[in-house]
Amino acid sequence: MADNDPSSGKTSKKNRKRRGKKEGGNKSTGTVGVAEHIHKVDPVEDLRQKLSEAKLAKDNELANRLRQQLWIAQDLSAGIEPNISAEDSVTLALVQEVKNYGIGQPAKEPASGTPVISSMNVGDADSKRLKNLRKKLAQIEKLKEKQRNGEKIESNQLEKINSEEEVREELRHVEELLSIPVKI
């Protein structure tokens, strides 16, 4: 479409203009990579960008590798040291790059001297699991009520009803982990 095309809308013209600026900004004057050395690039954001490009190119092998590297970089940025073998030079280089960027350093304790609790996400995951298990039990109860009322139940719904004891057992286990009194 040309810029003078009357059928093109205002938004498409703006998008073309933005694309032109973006393409113009990527042109180099023979100094490839100088800007990257001057300005540090966040490794996590860089990996996210590369991952989205690999997905668009439908390069699944590269996408899987980048996804794994992204997980490691995110762990490092959260202060979790990954367990990496010495043979994996690519991942070790990534770890070093992330550390050089300045993320992955342990969080400083507050001045008041109170320790920082870093395991909050674990409790959140268990409480989410607990919520989902309770939701499953409620669904099972509704299905049992339908069955008692004489409604036709499909085979997958019967399987769900039959899994009630397993769900209750898992619920007990999660509640024990969270030290919540069992209410079943």
| Least confident residue range of 43-57, 111-125, 153-167 | 111-125
| pLDDT at position 25 | 55
Contact yes or no for 66/47 (Cβ under 8 A): yes
| pLDDT at position 73 | 80
Average pLDDT over residues 154-162: 92
Cβ–Cβ contacts within 10 Å for residue 70, how many?
Answer: 19
Q: Return mean pLDDT, the chain.
A: 74
CA 140/CA 61 separation, integer angstroms:
41
Going by pLDDT thresholds of 50, 70 and 90, the confidence category of residue 112 is very low
pTM: 0.33
CA 144/CA 142 separation, integer angstroms:
5
CA 71/CA 110 separation, integer angstroms:
27
